[in-house]
Every structure is written in C-alpha cells, then in structure tokens.
Amino acid sequence: MAFNLFRPFGNEEPRRDARGRLVGIDRYQDVLGRNWKRFLLSGLCTLAGFLPFAAGVTYAILSSSVLVLLPAGILGGAVAGPFLAGLYDTVLRALRDAPGSWGENYRKALRQNWRGALLPGALTGLFLATGAFAGMMLFAWSAVWPSVGTICIYLFSWLLFFAISTLYWPQFVLFEQSNLVRLRNLLLLALTYFWRVLGTAALQLAFWLLMVLFAPWTLLLLPVAAIWFIVFETLFLLYDDLEKAFHLEEQIAEQFPDQPVRRD
C-alpha cells in the first residue's frame, strides 16, 4: 500500500457506511489523500482563468474607474466561468469516486460546460468586481470608518453570494437543467438545509476574509491551496445533503452505466 500523507497512523479499524465507504474524518482524509494532486492542478487552471479578471479589476480599482470595472468584471468572469466549472467538476468527481484520469475528466468538463458557464461566470465576475470595489470605497478610500450596520450589510451580501455559488455550481456541472430550475432547487436546498448551507457560506466568508486581511502574505497560498481547498471543504460538508436531495450517484449511474464508482 502506498504511503498516504493525509492518513494518520493507527491500528484502529476505520468506520464504513453501507456502501463500504469510509465515513467522517477517515473519508475526508482518504478523498483528500487520493485526489490532492487533481485538486491542485484544477486550482492552478482556475487561477489562470481568473488572470484576465484580476488584471482588469485591479486596473479599474487603481484608476478608480467604474467604467473599466464593469466590463472587466463581466468579461473576466465569463472567461473564468468554464475553469470554475472545471474545478467544481473535479471535486465532485472525487467525492463520488468517479474513475478516469484528471486530464481526461478535466478536458471533458471544459468541453461540456464552457458555453453554459459564460453567463454564470459573468455574473460571478460582476459581483466579485463590484464587491471588491465597494470594499475599497468603504475601508480604504473613505475618510470615515463605515458604521456597524454598513459593515453588516456588506458582509451579508458576501454571505449570500457564497451560499448561492455553493448551491448553483454543483447543479450546473452535474445536471442539464434550465437556470430557472437551478434557482428553484437552490432555494429549496437553502430552506431544507438552512443551517448547513449558512455554515458553509460563513466558512467561505471567514476563509476569504483571512486571505484579504493578511494579504499580501496570503497571496503565496493562492497557487498551492487557496482556490481548491475551500471548495473541497464546502462540498465535502454538503455532499451528503446534495446526494440525499438529488440522488447524484444513482442518476449518474443510470446515465453512464460504463462508469462504476470506486469503493474504498
């Protein structure tokens, strides 16, 4: 057996579910240990996809130009959308133990999703751009520190964004649906698993707040773990709920009978 850095030493027999899969922290360590290279490669591709967005929005902020900010956010987000879809596809494949090499699966994800990802990518880029610009106005350029209410509204907008993104992108890469159906499912999932969704959104908010507050040192983490790690953490926590709501693996097995899932 190959040495797995993410699995602790010990003689205790790990727990398994009815499907034979590890559960709890053992499952977390096993999925991360087997797939961290795939996550890293997908994260690097996602970073590359966001470079046009980062360049355009950075220039807009430095020049204080909303006229540059809006097209930079929309166009940069549209470019980044397919790569973000590829990252979600990679993590979800790992969580359901899908077979195939990373390169094969990633190219397939880009080929299948690039066109549909342009619009949600553009909307994502628009929010990220305006959110970053608003943050600079509130906390860097303003002569007066914003009120507690303003800060709460600003943070709540980000919390809502993370909740929507977390529930939208998995549906996008897994199912052929209209955006109306995805939004309806998103609302039902948010209501059904309210505290779990809120907790994962808060986890993402805290993660990115730390990344911003400790910049520029945290920028060193971007190529290594910043993008893929929080996506994996979030989807790992929500995967059982998504499986319960959508019967993911059952539907995928029906559509692709030649793709058996791996058992631990």
Looking at residues 13-24, what average pLDDT do you find? 72
pLDDT tens, position by position, 108-151: 999 999 999 999 999 999 999 999 999 998 887 777 788 899 99
User: pLDDT-based confidence at 39, cuts 50/70/90?
Assistant: very high
Tell how far CA 160 is from the center of its chain. Answer: 14
Q: Which amino acid is at 112?
A: Q
Q: How confident is the model at residue 250 (pLDDT cuts 50, 70, 90)?
A: confident
d(CA 152, CA 141): 19
Check residue 142 and give its pLDDT: 75
Closest of 90, 87, 100 to residue 48, by C-alpha:
87
Distance CA 133, CA 139 (A): 10
205 pLDDT above the threshold of 80: yes
- Residue 2 reports pLDDT greater than 70: no
Token pair belonging to 142? 């303003």
On the question of a cis peptide bond just before residue 216, with omega within 30 degrees of 0, the verdict is yes
**Looking at residues 9-19, what average pLDDT do you find?**
63
Cβ–Cβ < 8 Å for 49, 57: no
- Kindly state the average pLDDT of the residues 244-259: 68
Compute the average pLDDT of residues 32-57.
Answer: 95
d(CA 92, CA 238): 11
Q: Can you give the residue ranges of every domain in the chain?
A: 24-255
Instruction: Identify the pLDDT of residue 128.
Output: 97
pLDDT in tens, 217-229: 888 888 888 789 9
Mean pLDDT of the chain: 87
3-state DSSP call for residue 166? Answer: helix
Mean pLDDT across 185-213: 94
pLDDT of residue 143: 73
